[in-house]
Structure 1
Amino acid sequence: MEDVAMTTTQQQVVPHITDDTRELRQDSLFLQIPQNEKFLASLPAHTKIIQRDDLKKYFNLNLKIIGITGTNGKTTTAAIIYSVLLDMGYKVALLGTRGMFVNDKQIKPKGLTTPKLIELYQDIHTATLLGCEYFVMEVSSHAIKQERIYGLEFYTKILTNITSDHLDYHKTWEDYAQTKLNFLQTNENNQCIKIINLDDPSAAKIRFFPNTLTYGIESKGNFFVNAYSLNDGIFAQIGLRMSNKVQSQGNNKQDSTYTSDIQSALLHSELFGLFNLYNIMAAVLAIKALTDESLQKICDLVEQFGGVSGRMEVVSNNPLIIIDFAHTTDGMEKIFESFKTKKISVVFGAGGNRDKSKRAKMGASAAKYANKIYITNDNPRSEEPNEIANEIVSGIDSHQFLTKIQSSLKIILDRKEAIRQAIKDLPKDWVLLILGKGDECEQIFKDSIIQFSDKECVREILQKEQ
């Protein structure tokens, strides 16, 4: 990982600010947040307490912040925006699940999708001092609920989709969905551009909010698809309809009329799947709104984007083996739908100490689409792996699934062994999908954390077989 050094003139001294009593120093400023209010009474008498609104006094946030939220697609959409803006010559920062990147160099490793408030302000401050014009970030539902983005003025907000996830934290679907919608419905200023997926029923309800742009494949909003093919990547003929306000004088009275400017372009990408077409559309619409570059130029630059590690990543072409981070029912189904013309073998599990309600649904989804299923460990954490596996199996209609020609269901909790067996059993011209962990490089168990990468595991197995 490369460091991005700042010159003396770029550096700006920021006092030590913390929201954690364990990190207090003699010179610290203590940030009061809802989560630490109960500790205020126990602070040393000399401690200077500041409020969240005070943070802007200490940090330079003078750039355009683009926030992407949604159940699926945040990482890829953010990465496309970051990549294309860099190719256009802008200075850009990217913060999300994969860490923090500034001007094509990684400066922070993986962490939370959205860090805690102080760290986030520090990250934006760093990007500003490094000359960035844009700060592209993923925004998790946890961060919205816990007010970890408090006080930030977003230039653009994007909502990719809302499907069931994180019910271990939100408890109900309604709370989870409303949390995502709150991100767009909260306007720091009336100029914030909001971009929504018109094909998502939850998002469509806010289409008439001020400064809202829409995209869709089934629905024709501002950004739409006339025709597309998903064979050997993505090819689409797309259109963009933007309304322009025109002022006219008549009888000493000024009238406003609107005209529609329709642009069209051809889009090609090596990415797989309908869901990636959605991700590309969200990114292209955002870039168009940010830069006003020609639609075709943006699409041409998207073609150079090679994808995100661990997201629909082709690890082997012969046999065809793909890894992906999909760990929700909707995410899995989008992957499966991308391979309708092939027989599918799938390896997956479910995370422990997380939303249990989705496990049976994930099993049902696999049974609907796959011909061979290998249930294994994801990150079981403190839960018993066998119990997690059995909850997944409970969603599989055994009779319907096992009557498929050449179908099979196996529970192999050792993930490496499950992958090895799936590769060994893989018939020619099938596709093997290894889902749930993407580019993660460790597995979390009750009493240990081990180094493990799906990608390296596949490569090691294939190399031994040569």
Structure 2
Amino acid sequence: MLSDVARGLSGVQLIGDVEIRGITFDSRAVHPGDVFLAYCGEHRDGHLYAGEAVQRGATAIVVERVLDLAVAQCVVPSVSEAAGHIASKFYDHPSRSMSVVGVTGTNGKTTTCQLLRACLGTEDQPAAQIGTTGSFLGDELIMHPSLSTPEAPTLQSLFDQLRLRGTRRVAMEVTSHGLDRHRVSGTHFNVGVFLNLSPEHLDYHGSMQEYFVAKRRMFEQEHCDAAIICVDDEWGRKLAGLCSIPVITFGRHESADVKMSTQGMGLDGLLVRLAGPEGTTEISSRLIGEINGCNVAAAFLAARLLGVEASRAAHAIAECVPPPGRFEVITRDEPYLSVADYAHTPNALEALIATAREVSEGEVHLVLGARGQRYSAKRPEMARIATQADHIRLTTDSPCDEDPMEIINQMLSGVPPMRRDRVSVELDRATAIRHSVRDMKPGDILLITGRGPEGTQRFGEEEVVLDDRVVARLALDARNEAIGDSDPMGVSVVVVASNAAETLAATLRSVVEQTVKVHEIVVVDDGSTDDTVEVALSFAPLVRVVRQPRFGFGAARNVGVAQSSSRWVAFLEAGHLWHRKKLELQLSVLQNSDAVLCASDWSGEDHDDRREVDVQLMVSTDVGGESIFEQIHSCTVLVRRDVYGRTGGFEQLVESDEANVWRRLSTLGPVRKIKQPLTFCVTPDRDFEQQPSGENSPRRSDDDSQAVTSVT
């Protein structure tokens, strides 16, 4: 009942009462019987959408003023402050049934939470992680990323889902915005972790003191049982002195209960030594850079506080892979390094450049932008620190509603005059990355900073798909003609699928049954909500799955190419089938040839493997008034990786123009086409459920966790 979830709120006025079946703050997501929370945000007033919510079936609303609507109303002083209480009560306080670790600080939250997920989980009882890169249960992505700390109704619903799946332990990022906007109200933390505090979000908080006050809220006695606090900055020491709950302090500072020291091991990772009441413990980690020592120590100490044995926690940290976009090495066998990193604060950027100096022998190249509508005062300081690198390209991050050039001009104001010659400006971020990759020499390192694993840029109300890691990988491919020398005719197959559970098995079977064995199959799931991923995993270990939000097939193909490794790449979409000799015939055309692409005709009819095929050189650029490149279907294409990389791939838009890709590619080498259909549409009466058979057919592994990667 509405009265039940409102009980205990101060200053509440209840008008009517009704049973409620769900809770939401999005009027578009209302189901009959829901209660609608009319949030008053920075840009939108939820009261304006309450009427729409009622039309969609909401039987109650939570508001800050009485509305002329014929439904039960719960009037409160602040909807955002009441939301956590209401949602927690509605879901019967789910966080109390599990151990929850909240991690806060300016830098390191995501990394620490990933380490904690590894420490707190077991094979039979995986732990959950909630934060910037999404929400995970073990290695399973259960919710794509939105806010680092979800809004209270979303968070409590997520806790409820985790409880229903038997989850016992959760590590979550707790941001200052999340605390100030009461997103974690109604959440009980068994352990709170404080990592650091440096200038950030001061456009929102106004001062470092107010920023600190927001962070401190998580450690109040009614919210949190115990604290793990790094005292290497003044704010950590201040927090430790103010806490009324049990505290364990750690760090390099002399006042720390647990003294920490670190030893960088280059690209091999990091060694952390902790000396405290339990003695001395050494923990190795794959994380690169001594700045991660704090994250390792915090995760270890929090795990110990929750009863995890020291040896198991240390082993879990040693085996834990770094989070995406945190010193993520994009380079493979190239003689230079390319790294994507989320560093977006002065302290993080300075530490990143220092780490780059440690792990590379050559010059440091840097691609840097600044986020729009964020703390603008840090922009000159970011650029000043950036000049510790040797070559800097200032570019666009996500400008939002700001002028990109104005953001860059603010950054340029911080560049010391004697270092101005190190800095160039390229507004287009993809071009900035490509040019930086082009300029690297053996031994150099490129740092692409500020966005980590993010998949989109925002320009006003428009979102543009752009993944720094994919752009860099294609640019690296473009420079590396020797890719796949060990198997010059090896083929990687990139299959794009979206809500294709009914057709994907038949598509994959047509690849598995090729007369030429493929090196790998990468299935890129483009935002499916059905069982597409499960179907793909039934073909493991030959198939690897990459998941992304619905960014479109063009972006998905680029992701697939970036995740694959063979010299030749073939494209396919769920719902299409290949002639069993397709790759064999195309490779026979390409072998001992300078052609860079081979396509074939495409048919909407089912195929007949007995058909003869006729190979013809594509020489015409215009057939019947239509560009011949518009006649090339992506599912027929086999292309050389380095040449595809030189085109930049498909346009990073939801609707990509395929013909332009093939047109650009044709300027880089001969293109051939087999003038017979070798790719076909799946027919409606085909048996989609049949699994592949035969000696070389894959079988599902007992552990598919390594077969799934998420792109955010």
The structural deviation recorded for 1:301 is 1.9
**1: distance between equivalents of 2:430 and 2:281?**
44
Partner secondary structure for residue 452 of structure 2: coil
Q: Which residue of 2 aligns with 1:258?
A: none
* Amino acid aligned to 1:238: R
- Cα distance, 1:45 vs. partner? 3.4
The code of the aligned residue for 1:116 comes to E
SS of the aligned residue for 1:301 comes to: helix
**Corresponding residue for residue 453 of structure 1:** 467
- Residue 380 of structure 1 corresponds to 399
Gaps of 5+ in 1: 1-12, 243-261
3-state SS of paired residue (2:366): strand
C-alpha contact 2:270 2:288 (8 A) present in aligned 1: no
The aligned amino acid for 1:308 is: P
User: Residue deviations 1:193-231, cap 9 Å, x none?
Assistant: 111111021011132433111111344623323562343
- C-alpha RMSD of matched pairs (Å): 2.4
Deviation at 1:32, TM superposition (A): 7.3
Q: Counterpart in 2 of 1:337?
A: 354
Cα distance in 1 between the residues matched to 2:265 and 2:215: 29
Q: Deviations over 1:302-346 (max 9, x none)?
A: 111110111110111531111101111111112112133443110
User: Which shows bigger deviation, 314-323 or 218-227?
Assistant: 218-227
Matched letter for residue 108 of structure 1: M
Within-5 A mapping of 1:24-423: 27-31=33-37, 39-42=64-67, 44-49=69-74, 52=83, 53-60=85-92, 61=94, 62-87=97-122, 89-184=124-219, 186-188=220-222, 192-208=225-241, 209=243, 210-219=245-254, 221-226=256-261, 228-236=263-271, 238-242=273-277, 262-294=278-310, 296-317=311-332, 318-341=335-358, 342=360, 343-367=363-387, 369-399=388-418, 401-402=419-420, 408-423=422-437
Distance 1:443 1:202 in 2: 33
Contact 2:303 2:313 in 1 (8 A): yes
1:388-417 Cα distance to aligned partner (Å, 9 max, x none): 111111101021x14xxxx62110111111
Confirm or deny: 8 A CA contact 2:341 2:450 kept in the other structure: yes
Contact 2:395 2:429 in 1 (8 A): yes
Deviation per residue, 1:142-184 (Å, 9 max, x gap): 1101111112111111111111111222222221122112222
Matched residue type, 1:313: E
Q: Given the superposition, is the C-alpha separation of residues 322 and 38 from structure 1 closer, same or farther in structure 2, using an over 3 Å criterion?
A: same
* C-alpha separation in 1, matches of 2:374 and 2:239: 29
Identity of aligned residues (%): 27
More divergent stretch after superposition (154-163 vs 417-426): 417-426
CA pair 27-349 structure 1, distance change in 2 beyond 3 A? same
Tell me how far apart the structure 1 counterparts of residues 353 and 203 of structure 2 sit (CA, whole Å): 25
Alpha-carbon offset, residue 56 of structure 1 = 3.7
Point out where structure 2 has 5 or more consecutive residues left out of the alignment.
Answer: 1-18, 47-61, 76-81, 481-712
Larger relative contact order (C-alpha < 8 A, sep ≥ 6)? 1
- CA drift of 1:128 comes to 0.7
Quote the Cα distance in structure 1 between the aligned partners of 2:218 and 2:237: 14
Task: After superposition, give the CA deviation of every residue in 1:264-312 in whole Å (9 maximum; x if it has no partner).
Answer: 2222222111211111111111111112412x33222211111011111
Counterparts of 2:231 and 2:127, CA distance in 1: 28
Distance 2:153 2:336 in 1: 46
| Equivalent-residue separation in structure 2 for 1:158 and 1:116 (angstroms) | 20
Give the count of matched residue pairs: 426
What TM-score, normalized by structure 2, do the two folds share?
0.57
Question: Which amino acid letter does the alignment assign opposite residue 16 of structure 1?
Answer: G
TM-score, L = length of structure 1: 0.85
Structure 2 counterpart of 1:321, one-letter code: S
The answer to whether the Cα contact below 8 Å between 1:348 and 1:434 also exists between their aligned partners in 2 is yes
Residues in 1 aligned to 2:371 and 2:264: alpha-carbon distance in whole angstroms? 34
Structure 2 contact 263–290 (Cα < 8 Å) conserved: no
Q: Provide the rounded CA distance (Å) in 2 between the counterparts of 1:20 and 1:271.
A: 39
Q: 1:10 maps to which residue?
A: none
Which deviates more, 142-151 or 210-219? 210-219
Which residue identity is paired with 1:118? P
> Residue 252 of structure 1 aligns with which residue?
none
Partner of residue 441 from structure 1, selected from 455, 458, 470 = 455
Distance in 1 between the 2:464 and 2:256 partners? 47
Distance 2:28 2:72 in 1: 13
Quote the offset at 1:441 in angstroms: 1.0
Q: Name whichever of 13-22 and 350-359 sits farther off.
A: 13-22
**Partner secondary structure for residue 148 of structure 1:** coil
CA contact (8 A) 2:269 2:287 kept: yes
Contact between 1:71 and 1:165, CA under 8 Å: does it hold in 2?
A: yes
Structure 2 counterpart of 1:430 = 444
Bigger drift between 128-137 and 52-61 goes to: 52-61
Alpha-carbon deviation of 1:377?
Answer: 0.6
CA contact (8 A) 1:31 1:49 kept: no
Deviation at 1:140, TM superposition (A): 1.1
Flag the 1:434–1:219 CA change in 2: closer, same or farther, 3 A: farther
Q: Which has more radius of gyration?
A: 2
